[in-house]
Structure 1
Amino acid sequence: MAVPPPSNVTASNPASGTRRMRRIIAEDPEWTLAIVPSLIDLCLQHFVTNFETHPVLTELQPEQQRKVLDRLSPDLSLKVVANLISDESYWKRRCNQRWSVGHVEKYGNNWKRMFFERHLQELLKVFIPGTTDPNVILDLIPLCQDYVVRLQVDQFLPPVMLEPPIQDMDLTDSASETEQDDLNMDHYQLGDLVAGLRKLEILDLVFGVKDCGMNFEWNLFLFTIRDCHSLASAIKTCLTLKVFRLTRSKVDDEKARILIRNLLDHPSLLELDLSHNNIGDRGARAAAKLINHSKLKILNLANNKIKALGAQSLAHALSVNTNLVSLNLRLNCIEDEGGQAIAHALQTNSTLTNLHLGSNELSEPTATLFSQVLSVNTTLTCINLSCNHIGLDGGKQLLEGMSENKTLMEFDLRMSEIGQESEYLISGALNANREAARLRTLQPKCCHVTVSHIINNAAG
């Protein structure tokens, strides 16, 4: 006979009631009975957690290093990771976290280089002389000196201008208003930074302020004489520098001469860009001297104030130069006197391949000489004479020169008033030159195929 259970005991059947259950919750939410971490993994996690105070990496095996690097935070101090971690995947994570858009191909497909160049650029763009601690930049030099190849800064902030006391508001007789403004507007001096960047090849600068809005003042765009001397000394001692660009910075003749004087006989400079400034004939004469006292291959002086005398100086340098391959003088005012001088030089020059003389008030006399250039020069591949006053007769003479030219690939004559017929015929001549050049590039391959075919037939 079955004995009924005591009335104070609840049956295990769910239908008869519920039974109180105990549940154990692990302190580590990732812990599971299925996976018990190995001692090695626990040690690696300890290294990751304490990496900033006790970095351990090079002592580990390659697969262990990989695990540590994948777990490291992208917010670690640069003093810890800059010269210790070279792994590209780690620097890629840091770049992607910091910038939503990044074109690593512009940085030689090197994520570490991209990080340090952009990081340094941002620090320089917000540096305020007299307010920002200079050590913000100087302390970074030992960390990035081997990774920064290009320094591209399109903004330099001036010092904060405080309201002068009432008793000092009257200008003294010994200093003009312009001199006082210039005295207080010096920007960050790049000397120590450039000297510390051991692999710097490209220096691209604009002395101005972006997005100034209603606070616009001309002094915000002032490249002072002290800025000029400091920068000139910096580029002179930077023996690795290959490209120097200083644009939209109100560089006048005096400052251009100071800069160029310090670039004479530079061992590695290949490109100089001083476009969109206020350089006149004296600055152009200095640039002409530089052409023959350096290895310069590209010179850009577009949108300045160069006239005939400056163009004549450049032409004289071109007549004997054997290095320069590109000259850009667009948006100046060299007129026919300067244009003819350059055309004369090109009849003997055998290295220049690209010439831009657009918007220079040129007319038919210049076109006449360029017609002769086209018939004798065999190195020019690109000429731009757009936005000049060549005229119908000038266009016909250029067409005549093109009939004897076999090397020119691009000839920009837009808005030069040469007429549709001349434009059409010159375009046809250019197309013929391009097709001939294409066939020349294919000729060695065709010859190789022919020889191979002959050998195969002989073997058969």
Structure 2
Amino acid sequence: MLIRMQQPAASDRSTAIPSLYPSQASPTADSKYKHCIAEDPEWSLVTVPCLTELCLQHIADHFEKNPILDRLLPEHQRKVLDRLSTGLPLTVTANLISDEDYWKRCCTERWQVCNISNYGYSWKRMFFERHLENILKHFIPNTTDPNQVLEVIPLCKDYVQKLEVDQLLPPVKVDQKEEMDDLSDMGLEEVSTHHYDLGVLITALPHLQELHLSYGVKDCGMNFQWNLFNFTYQDCCNLAVAVKKCHSLKVFKLTHSTVDDDKTRLLVRNLLDHPCLVELNLSHNLIKDKGARAVGKLINHSRLETLNLYNNQIHHLGAQALAQALAKNSTLISLNLRLNCVEDEGGKAIGRALLTNTTLKSIHLGSNNLSGPTAILFSQVLAKNTTLTSINFSCNHLGLDGGKHLLDGLAENKALTEFDLRLTEVGQETEFLIHQIVWSNQEAARLGSLQQPLAKLL
């Protein structure tokens, strides 16, 4: 900063000498000879930051090369974290920064929708789970460098508990369309459409509890090909082995992936006696009776609590196999068989199983071509079973007589709180009376839940 002092004229130099005593100083002389002219007119002493602030800013600006954080005072750490860029390499920030505010900025700047409740209210967990999911969704075998996955494993393995991958790409490029069509005509699509093997990843995540997968392509547009949705037998082998080794896994969902009977049996063989698995979802697949029979074996050789086989091709033989397992089971709480075709033979088999089963709370048999005989047997279930709280018979043909039998069975039932009879042709009056009983059970259950805490206090 250059400061120039205006020099007095020669004739006035004798009067320009400042007095040693303030009372003798001349106001005119002060205003004339002590005026400062600064080079920067906006410069002010107030804006000069203190040395501490300069140091903290330097640390934030050079954090990638020299990450200093633990040695700072707590208030200084806060200032540095607030100034850090969210674009820093994960190799620097992953295992060094645990501050939730920093990871919140990383999430909100990258994704528009951030529901932290789905991630245990942890922003850091959300970031690493969604970051890893994004890598897997866009991984193209034989094209994408596998190190993209391998390098992120040591960074995220302590934070990932759930993976939801609704797209897995096969090794198909847009400019290979004609070549792939030729291979498809030759029956060689299995050779060229294997997906990324998740085995290395899944077994390296010690805290993974939920795995949701769909082998297909989203938004393929004009590049649609059937082999983009081909979950091959080799894919199934790789996945089954990986899931077997993942002892921490509690929830496994494999949906919209053309899983047939052979692949179902392969999966079941590797899931038998799994130590932690409590929920299995194989909905929207191609499972038939043989696959359902394999799942029935799994029911009594695991700790399954929730089983979802919604929208498959299970008929009465498969339903009978599931019913046989259900009659002996003591862990399953929820069973969803919606949108299959079990018909009355399968429906009655399941009803007979529920006469002895004492653990199942929810069953969904909607859209299964059921009619009066199933309703008659379930009237006995309603009169005897005290565990079931939810039944869904929607979109079946139970008829007026079937509805009356269900109403009679409900006369003494105090447990059922949900009963869906939409589009079952039971008649409006019967449906209204049934809903009145169910509503009464709901109120009793609600009052009971309110009285329990009071009883504990007393």
TM (normalized to structure 2)? 0.88
Q: Paired residue for 1:250?
A: 258
* 1:214 to partner: Cα distance: 1.2
Task: Pick one of 372, 376, 384 that aligns with 1:364.
Answer: 372
* 1:178 to partner: Cα distance: 6.4
Q: How does 1:252-291 map to 2 (within 5 A)?
A: 252-291=260-299
1:444–1:306: structure 2 CA closer, same or farther, 3 Å change rule?
A: closer
Task: Pick one of 25, 34, 38 that aligns with 2:46.
Answer: 34
Q: Paired residue for 2:40?
A: 25
* 1:200 to partner: Cα distance: 0.6
1:448–1:333: structure 2 CA closer, same or farther, 3 Å change rule?
A: closer
Counterparts of 2:199 and 2:432, CA distance in 1: 53
Counterparts of 2:84 and 2:268, CA distance in 1: 47
Q: Paired residue for 1:11?
A: none
Q: How does 1:128-167 map to 2 (within 5 A)?
A: 128-161=140-173, 163=176
Structure 2 letter corresponding to 1:252: D
> Are positions 1:310 and 2:325 aligned together?
no
Q: How does 1:164-243 map to 2 (within 5 A)?
A: 177=185, 179-243=187-251
For residues 311-330 of structure 1, give each alpha carbon's deviation from its aligned partner in whole angstroms, at most 9, with x where no partner exists: 01110111010000000001
Counterparts of 1:47 and 1:381, CA distance in 2: 60
Q: Paired residue for 1:80?
A: 92
Q: Is there any run of 5+ residues in structure 1 with no aligned partner, and where?
A: 7-19, 452-460
Structure 2 letter corresponding to 1:97: E
Name whichever of 344-353 and 151-160 sits farther off. Answer: 151-160
Determine helix, strand or coil for the equivalent of 1:389: coil
1:288–1:32: structure 2 CA closer, same or farther, 3 Å change rule?
A: farther
* 1:182 to partner: Cα distance: 1.2
Task: Pick one of 101, 107, 120 that aligns with 1:108.
Answer: 120
1:70–1:310: structure 2 CA closer, same or farther, 3 Å change rule?
A: same
For residues 12-53 of structure 1, give each alpha carbon's deviation from its aligned partner in whole angstroms, at most 9, with x where no partner exists: xxxxxxxx9944239xx9x84115433333222221121101
> Are positions 1:99 and 2:111 aligned together?
yes
Q: Paired residue for 2:422?
A: 414
Q: Identical aligned pairs, as a percentage?
A: 60
Structure 1 letter corresponding to 2:371: S
Q: Paired residue for 1:344?
A: 352
Determine helix, strand or coil for the equivalent of 2:271: coil
> Are positions 1:425 and 2:438 aligned together?
no
1:414–1:21: structure 2 CA closer, same or farther, 3 Å change rule?
A: same
Counterparts of 2:246 and 2:44, CA distance in 1: 59
* 1:67 to partner: Cα distance: 1.4
Counterparts of 1:377 and 1:389, CA distance in 2: 23
For residues 57-104 of structure 1, give each alpha carbon's deviation from its aligned partner in whole angstroms, at most 9, with x where no partner exists: 112221121111111111100000000000000001111111122111
Structure 1 letter corresponding to 2:241: S
Structure 1 letter corresponding to 2:352: H
> Are positions 1:438 and 2:450 aligned together?
no
> Are positions 1:68 and 2:63 aligned together?
no
* 1:434 to partner: Cα distance: 1.2
For residues 183-217 of structure 1, give each alpha carbon's deviation from its aligned partner in whole angstroms, at most 9, with x where no partner exists: 10011110111111111111001111111111111
Counterparts of 1:380 and 1:365, CA distance in 2: 20
Structure 2 letter corresponding to 1:433: N
Name whichever of 51-60 and 37-46 sits farther off. Answer: 37-46
Counterparts of 1:152 and 1:51, CA distance in 2: 32
* 1:439 to partner: Cα distance: 2.6
1:328–1:448: structure 2 CA closer, same or farther, 3 Å change rule?
A: closer
Counterparts of 2:438 and 2:348, CA distance in 1: 23
1:189–1:381: structure 2 CA closer, same or farther, 3 Å change rule?
A: same
For residues 351-380 of structure 1, give each alpha carbon's deviation from its aligned partner in whole angstroms, at most 9, with x where no partner exists: 000000000011101111000000000000
Counterparts of 2:44 and 2:62, CA distance in 1: 24
Structure 1 letter corresponding to 2:40: I
Counterparts of 1:447 and 1:111, CA distance in 2: 38
> Are positions 1:127 and 2:139 aligned together?
yes
Aligned residues: 426
Determine helix, strand or coil for the equivalent of 2:307: strand
Q: Paired residue for 1:403?
A: 411
For residues 194-249 of structure 1, give each alpha carbon's deviation from its aligned partner in whole angstroms, at most 9, with x where no partner exists: 11111111100111111111111111111011110010011000011000000011
Determine helix, strand or coil for the equivalent of 1:245: strand
Structure 1 letter corresponding to 2:233: I
Q: Is there any run of 5+ residues in structure 2 with no aligned partner, and where?
A: 1-8, 11-34
Name whichever of 422-431 and 97-106 sits farther off. Answer: 97-106
Structure 2 letter corresponding to 1:234: A
Determine helix, strand or coil for the equivalent of 1:411: strand
1:445–1:138: structure 2 CA closer, same or farther, 3 Å change rule?
A: closer
Counterparts of 1:420 and 1:396, CA distance in 2: 11
1:382–1:55: structure 2 CA closer, same or farther, 3 Å change rule?
A: same
